[in-house]
Chain A
Amino acid sequence: MSCRDRTSEFESVCKSLQGRQNGAQDIKPVHNAVRQRSDFTLMAKRIGRDLSNTFAKLEKLTILAKRKSLFDDKAVEIDELTYIVKQDINSLNKQIAQLQELVRSRNGQNNRHLQTHSNTIVVSLQSKLASMSSDFKSVLEVRTENLKQQKSRQEQFSQSPASSSSFHDNMNKYDNSNKADISIDMDLRSSQQMQLLNEKESYIQDRANTMQNIESTIVELGSIFQQLAHMVKEQEETVQRIDANVEDTQLNVDLAHTEILKYFQSVSNNRWLLIKIFLILIIFFFIFVVFLA
């Protein structure tokens, strides 16, 4: 580390100075007590902690959703996690809204630095929440993509659009029956039935697919609108540098300078002023002459 820790040196200096002064003074323990944290800070800390927890859950969800294996699908877990994360995001939203209300209600009492500090905290919590929810949406999209891919791959492996589970059932039935002719009969009939079923199912499947497409499209549109809102929010703090304020101050000083200059002009051009001063001088002169003479 290219820096040097002088804390221990500082503490030893403090102790030695304390030792020298110890006879004369009592140590007031007041300020060393646990400081009272304001409500605002406590709330902000709590929200921050919740946010980080939700982030961790979201990371787990991302890892799960990215898995593409056909057979090891942890659909139940993913759904649970999704539900939990959604709840968390909603509650965080409410909490941050509450925090903002608190900040606004305290507006008059606080000094300006504290106000800026509080506002900045609220804004940054909001932007963290927004980024997290957009991450969440993208994870959901990844998940739907993977589901679609899984379905298409299943269709490739099985001859009918019916799910592989029904195919498995048929296979089991064939295995269980040891009689070949029965199996052939069943084969024929079941294949016919399967044909009918297939047609119906394919029609239903088509409808389902289209509905799903529409739904996902609407979701995408929703995310687009949210991103737009996010961008508008982020314009608040565009590329800015810490020495921008210095220029503001300079501008103000310049304005003040011009005002003073104006006043100076008016004062220096004012002939009446000269006459007035002259009159006052003459009055004083006469008074002194009258009194002394």
Chain B
Amino acid sequence: MAASIREKQTAALKRMLNFNAPPLKNTAAEPVWKVLIYDRFGQDIISPLLSVKELRDMGITLHLLLHSDRDPIPDVPAIYFVMPTEENIDRICQDLRNQLYESYYLNFISAISRSKLEDIASAALAANAVNLVTKVFDQYLNFITLEDDMFVLCNQNKEQISYHAINKPDIMDTEMEGIMDTIVDGLFCYFVTLGAVPIIRCPRGNAAEMVAVKLDKKLRENLRDARNSLFTGDTMGAGQFSFQRPLFVLADRNLDLATPLHHTWTYQALIHDVLDLYLNRVSLEESPGSEASPAGARPKKKSKKSYDLTAADKFWQKHKGSPFPEVAESVQEELDTYRAQEDEVKRLKSIMGLEGEDDGAISMLSDNTAKLTSAVSSLPELLEKKRLIDLHTNVATAVLDHIKSRKLDVYFEYEEKLMSKSTMDKSLLDIISDPDAGTPEDKMRLFLIYYITSQQPPSEGDLEQYKKALIDAGCDLSPLNYIKQWKAFTKMAAAPANYGNSGVKPMGLFSRVMNTGSQFVMEGVKNLVLKQHNLPVTRILDNLMDMKSNPETDDYRYFDPKMLRGSESSIPRNKNPFQEAIVFVVGGGNYIEYQNLVDYAKAKQGKRVMYGCSELFSATQFMKQLSQLGQK
């Protein structure tokens, strides 16, 4: 597990694209041209990992959606990368009948069942194309990797396994089973790709426990089947230098409802919260000049620009977890260094101009051509740098606009104080009734956090006052009903989670972070510094990894798929602290928790933590789900 999950998944994809043979390293190989066909699931999996240029390098000339109209290309092999659903199988059979391609390499994202395999076989027989179906593979790649150490289960049908779907009061058993199966399938694929069998720990009494039981069973069955096991042989071979098994912590969203609603201050989390971040791609809206739309009600089109935030972008990798003012400063610094380099290149022009007048021209010539060569070869790098700086400038400006208009720094500070139970200087009512601090949604979020984190619920009178103020500000109160129910429920189970001590030190009001002439003048925005604090999920992970005993986590169940008999005990057999851990939140996660875990892993030497969730939602989406739940 020295390689990250992203590298492993990319390697698996590349191997698949090379007809499931390990890819050759040398460029002297003869190129083989192929066509890639995927469905929406496959598209989501491939797009954060491989760009079109990389696909071209591997010989893929065309990439098409399965359900689009495709023309026959009769002498080219086709690689299919799809989920084994009914419609996809039907479409594949149709392709076989229409004889679109020369040979077919079918790769299914998760394991295909025997009956569906028979369907394809019968269609192939009917079309007389049995020889054309060259290979059928189960790829076990049913998860999306967004970062080196972060993965999400799915993006396409995420309503089916959302928080709302799991927690709605009128859920049927069959639906629940279906959701659990989907989640377990994705997790199983994750562990197969990772190549390790973990030790599972989960809390009792909620969806996470169900998932853990099923996953344990599935892993155990697979390990027992010695002939066919996916965990022996090459997977455990090269690169597997740690002898320890990782710890897999299953957490449930119900453990901590305040974090998804929290306003945040780090770069990546802010982009996800405020702009539209989807599979590592940001979309910004740039509205053209304000023109009154004509009475014919033709909507004025806003041009959308989208940017990719990739692993190759060094600035992004360095700063995605930094607080926003730091990011603004760094963008400015990068811009300055870039301008200096640009000036150097321009200076060469003047030197070349002088050349004709100089007697020692010939001796200077070789020197200058060397400089020119180096300048020209560094030109692509410079252009790339400029593009990245532009990208981050635009994105950061957009984020800054949002912060300024909604006064997000005020919210952030207040919520931090609420979550750490320190005293506040402004009352909640003031902020709610303040008309220009934020959208109604922001106010609702703040109030919900207050409600969740307060030790006792506010008195009836206070509550009525708050409600009135919220309604005046235009908020929708249905999430509140749900939170009330949730709070009552969790009170029975355990004391509400405390959020640790955090201190937020504002570094001076109205601090001008930038010097004049730059765009990032953050007047009126407080330069807040985050002090390290641990969210509940991080604390649970800490306890479990180091085997500390803590009333919260002592009660967690323990599963070890490699043991011969499953046991009901929650006494861990393994007394050593773990070095690797994977945290998975059933019901949805977000970038704040991810960032917190990354910081935790950095602080502790030699520990690696990976984060996963069944879906990734922003606060807006979570609020929608809560209001749906509250209306029931």
Task: List the interface of chain A (C-beta within 8 A of B).
Answer: 1-7, 9-11, 13-14, 17-18, 21, 27-28, 30-32, 35-38, 41, 44-45, 48-49, 51-52, 55-56, 59, 111-114, 116-117, 120-121, 124-125, 128, 210, 213-214, 216-217, 220-221, 223-224, 227-228, 231, 237-243, 246-247, 254, 258, 261-262, 265
Contacts and interface: CB of A to CB of B under 8 A. Distances in A.
B80 to A, nearest CB: 13
Interface-central residue, B59, B71, B134, B139, by most chain A CB under 10 Å: B71
A37 B15 CA distance: 26
A41 to B, nearest CB: 5
Nearest to A52: B30
25 contacts: A2-B192, A2-B230, A4-B140, A6-B112, A7-B137, A9-B117, A10-B117, A14-B124, A14-B125, A18-B130, A31-B99, A31-B132, A52-B31, A59-B28, A112-B71, A117-B35, A117-B61, A120-B62, A128-B31, A214-B362, A220-B369, A227-B376, A231-B380, A237-B52, A239-B310
B371 to A, nearest CB: 11
A258 B297 CA distance: 9
Interface in B1-41: 8, 12, 15-16, 20, 27-31, 33, 35, 38
A214 B114 CA distance: 72
B138 A4 contact: yes
A7 B365 contact: no
B174 interface: no
Contacts of A262: 296, 298
Interface of B: 8, 12, 15-16, 20, 27-31, 33, 35, 38, 43, 46-47, 51-53, 55-56, 59, 61-64, 70-76, 99, 102, 107, 111-112, 114, 117-118, 120-122, 124-125, 127-140, 192-193, 195, 228, 230, 233-235, 279, 281, 296-299, 301, 306, 308, 310, 362, 365-366, 369-370, 372-373, 376-377, 379-380
A48 B52 contact: no
B369 A117 contact: no
A56 B29 CA distance: 9
A262 B296 CA distance: 7
A35 B52 contact: no
A193 B148 CA distance: 74
Contact of B47 (A48, A124, A241): A241
B68 to A, nearest CB: 9
Nearest to B228: A4
A2 B193 contact: yes
Nearest to A125: B31
Contacts of B99: 31
A246 to B, nearest CB: 8
A114 B73 contact: yes
Contacts of B28: 52, 55-56, 59
B155 to A, nearest CB: 11
A1 B238 CA distance: 11
A100 B136 CA distance: 35
A213 B363 CA distance: 9
Given A6-B137, A56-B28, A13 B377 contact: no
A280 to B, nearest CB: 27
A223 to B, nearest CB: 8
Nearest to A141: B373
Contacts of A52: 28-31
B125 A31 contact: no
A48 B61 CA distance: 14
The secondary-structure label for the interface of chain B is mixed
A11 B124 CA distance: 11
B71 A31 contact: no
B51 to A, nearest CB: 6
A3 B138 contact: yes
9 tightest A-B contacts by CB? A111-B71, A120-B61, A55-B28, A240-B52, A113-B71, A4-B138, A13-B121, A6-B136, A52-B30
A214 B369 CA distance: 11
Contacts of A254: 301
Contacts of B51: 239-241
Contacts of B52: 237, 239-242
A13 B117 contact: yes
A113 B55 contact: no
Contacts of A36: 75
A140 B301 CA distance: 55
Contacts of B125: 14, 17-18, 21
Nearest to A27: B128
Contacts of A242: 38, 43, 46-47, 52, 55, 63
B291 to A, nearest CB: 15
B74 A48 contact: no
A266 to B, nearest CB: 8
Contacts of B55: 242
B74 A35 contact: yes
A120 B64 CA distance: 14
B114 to A, nearest CB: 8
A238 B53 CA distance: 7
A223 B370 CA distance: 12
Nearest to B55: A242
Contact of B12 (A2, A5, A55, A231): A2
A261 B297 contact: yes
A117 B76 contact: yes
A2 B56 contact: no
B545 to A, nearest CB: 26
A5 B43 contact: no
B75 A10 contact: no
Contact of B120 (A10, A121, A128): A10
B7 to A, nearest CB: 13
A37 B74 CA distance: 8
Given A114-B71, A117-B62, A217-B366, A243 B43 contact: yes
Contact of B75 (A5, A35, A49, A227): A35
A217 B369 contact: yes
A213 B16 contact: no
Contacts of B306: 247
A14 to B, nearest CB: 5
Contact of A5 (B62, B111, B137, B310): B137
B118 A17 contact: yes
B135 A5 contact: yes
A4 B137 contact: yes
A128 B30 CA distance: 11
Contacts of B298: 258, 261-262
